[in-house]
Chains A and B, each alone.
Chain A
Amino acid sequence: MTAMTHTIGDSATMTRRNLLRLRRYPSMTVLLVGMPIVLLLLFVYVFGGQLAHGLGDRLSGGHAGRAGYLNYVTPGVLLLATSAAVQGTAIVVAMDMTGGIIDRFRTMAISRSAALTGHVLASLVQTLVSLVIVAVVAIALGFRPDAGPVAWLAAVGVLALFSFALVWLATALGLAAKSVETASNTPMFLTLLVFLGSGFVPVATMPVGLQQFARYQPFTPVTETLRGLLTGTPIGTNAVAAVAWSIGLALASYIWAVHLYRHRRPA
């Protein structure tokens, strides 16, 4: 077999291993999928009635009251689901790196990148599954996107690309963490970024300083692009910004992760 088929084969083996691990460790997945669902219920049923008042027709997709807020907040909650899922990525990567098995892999004649690729692909699958679950719950609650097939496809593409970037970032954070506990904490700022953007309320309602921050952080253009594709709000330059942020973040995180993996100091 050539080096290339080894690389693909080893990556597939590692991906299978990580998916199997996720199945054997279901409590983490349940916790990480449960968090965005709980927040979705909380925001729609506790705050939604009040928050819907300020939205207006344009942002609520033409739905009145609580249903209108559900339509507004779902793209934000989907990003919350991604942020939560990649917390799991950081945890499983750190579990591997702090355990003995990674040294076994590193002393075997397998493709160097396979261990990381396996984590990234398995995490991407897990993130997408978690996104589907959250989307189904939102639809069950009354989320009614008016997107056509092309817009849906584009929305899935944007979400998948951004998830890919966050998975690589979480992989790097997991590699950088000295312990599994640290790794489970460091990606939490991602969840916060959903709130400090246009995930739950329009940026325009925030104080000026916060508005500046919210406008120029990656979650806002991604949220706005998703919202526009699914519910027809204006997208403008957000699509370009979302794709640029995703590619940039993925590339920078990839370089960081590979650097950390190669220069890992023995425990």
Chain B
Amino acid sequence: MSVARRPAIVAAGVRKSFDEKVVLDDVDLTVAEGTVFALLGPNGAGKTTMIRILSTLIAADAGRASVAGHDVADDPDEVRAAIGVTGQFAALDELLTGMENMRLMADLNHLDRSAGRQRVGELLDRFGIADAAHKPVSTYSGGMRRRLDLAMTLVGSPQVIFLDEPTTGLDPVSRRTMWDSVRELVAAGVTIFLTTQYLDEADELADQIAVLDHGRIVAMGSPDELKRRVSGGHVRLQVATPDALRAAVELLEGASCDAGELQVQVPTDGTVASLRRLLGLVDDAGIEVEHLSIHTPDLDDVFFAVTGHATDEALALP
């Protein structure tokens, strides 16, 4: 990640309401060129609305946004010429074949005939759809649809690509393939703006993550910066007897226990010194520890820390 690169996407004070419901509330963000930006949040947080505004599908109620140097409200055609969008629901023509869908994109991108055919052929090969190219899309599997969808987005060689929950509903293998595709694109200098409700996906792909909750950005930073902001790290001690468990909980500051599993959890900042101190205390008290594990905070902890509720809980909201 480099801070010096010029921004591919800038949003300032973006607001959007549908009827009385506020969906985006004063969102600011900047995405550097050639990086991956992940907008992370549960269903209904406003992620898709943000993509719809940045990709010129709907207008913001207030605030400004620009993509690839063009204002989305004033120069939508320039923005459209620079972007590619792969939505949450496959934007394919079900009645046509994969090849026909791709050729449609080549024609709409005004590629000339031979350049268009060449680009379509390359992409069909790259995304492993060449064998099924002449079958109707309605016969494709979920993973193939998503790959064709992304391939269609790439026909126009966009500089900025929006991926709205690119791996929702995909099997693990298709998910890995999609991640690899994202990495290849970034390596080629493309800027990626993706939304996801999977914390591991953001952790895996993104240079910058913004956590969106109820229309507000509640945290922003690199995956490491976000993890550093929470004190979700802990050491878990497995003891042999209920007596040892009781002794450990009394001895160690901030400890909590799971009596059924005979486990004690102790907060830690992750430094070796604190770990040595902890083990020293346990040894001196003669508590026998069968097993020890160290847990560094993951993005689930981040989400809990910044929103005050877990992702699962938020997912259950209507």
In Å, the complex CA distance between A28 and B84 comes to: 33
Q: Which residues of A contact B107 (CB under 8 A)?
A: 9, 13
Per-residue CB contact flags for chain A residues 219-236 toward chain B (1 = under 8 Å, else 0) read 000000000000000000
Q: Which residues of A contact B238 (CB under 8 A)?
A: none
Interface of A is mostly: helix
* Shortest CB distance A101–B (Å): 5
Which one of A78-86, A105-113, A135-143, A181-189 is at the interface?
A105-113
Q: Which residues of A contact B57 (CB under 8 A)?
A: 103, 106-107, 266
- Kindly identify, within residues 73 to 93 of chain B, every residue whose CB is under 8 Å from any CB belonging to chain A: 77-78, 80-81, 83-85, 87, 89-93
Q: Which residues of A contact B153 (CB under 8 A)?
A: 104
In Å, the complex CA distance between A13 and B153 comes to: 17
In Å, the complex CA distance between A1 and B100 comes to: 24
Q: Which residues of B contact A6 (CB under 8 A)?
A: 110
* Shortest CB distance A24–B (Å): 4
Q: Are A20 and B96 neighbours in the complex by a CB distance under 8 Å? A: yes
A100 beta carbon closer than 8 Å to chain B: yes
Contact residues on A (Cβ < 8 Å of other chain), bracket: 20 to 34
A107-B56, A107-B57, A107-B85 as given contacts; A100 in contact with B108, CB under 8 Å: no
- Kindly identify, within residues 93 to 142 of chain A, every residue whose CB is under 8 Å from any CB belonging to chain B: 99-101, 103-110
Q: Are A266 and B52 neighbours in the complex by a CB distance under 8 Å? A: yes
- Kindly identify, within residues 141 to 156 of chain B, every residue whose CB is under 8 Å from any CB belonging to chain A: 152-153, 156
- Kindly identify, within residues 38 to 60 of chain B, every residue whose CB is under 8 Å from any CB belonging to chain A: 52, 55-58
* Shortest CB distance B49–A (Å): 8
* Shortest CB distance A155–B (Å): 34
Contact of B110 among A9, A20, A24, A101 (CB under 8 A): A9
Per-residue CB contact flags for chain A residues 4-21 toward chain B (1 = under 8 Å, else 0) read 001001100100010011
B136 beta carbon closer than 8 Å to chain A: yes
Q: Which residues of B contact A108 (CB under 8 A)?
A: 80, 108-109, 156
In Å, the complex CA distance between A101 and B89 comes to: 9
Residue of A25, A106, A108 with most partner-chain B CB within 10 A: A108
B95 beta carbon closer than 8 Å to chain A: yes
Residue of B52, B90, B93 with most partner-chain A CB within 10 A: B93
* Shortest CB distance B288–A (Å): 60
Q: Are A100 and B89 neighbours in the complex by a CB distance under 8 Å? A: yes
* Shortest CB distance B184–A (Å): 21
Q: Which residues of B contact A104 (CB under 8 A)?
A: 85, 87, 91, 152-153
Contact of A13 among B78, B83, B94, B104 (CB under 8 A): B104
Residue of B81, B96, B110, B156 with most partner-chain A CB within 10 A: B110
- Kindly identify, within residues 268 to 288 of chain B, every residue whose CB is under 8 Å from any CB belonging to chain A: none
Smallest Cβ-Cβ distance to B88: which chain A residue:
A100
What 12 new A-B contacts, CB under 8 Å, besides A24-B95, A24-B136? A9-B107, A9-B110, A24-B96, A100-B90, A100-B91, A101-B91, A103-B85, A106-B56, A107-B56, A107-B83, A108-B108, A109-B80
A residues bordering B, Cβ < 8 Å?
1, 6, 9-10, 13, 17, 20-21, 24-25, 99-101, 103-110, 266
Closest 10 CB pairs of A and B: A100-B91, A104-B91, A109-B81, A24-B95, A109-B80, A13-B107, A100-B89, A107-B85, A107-B55, A101-B91
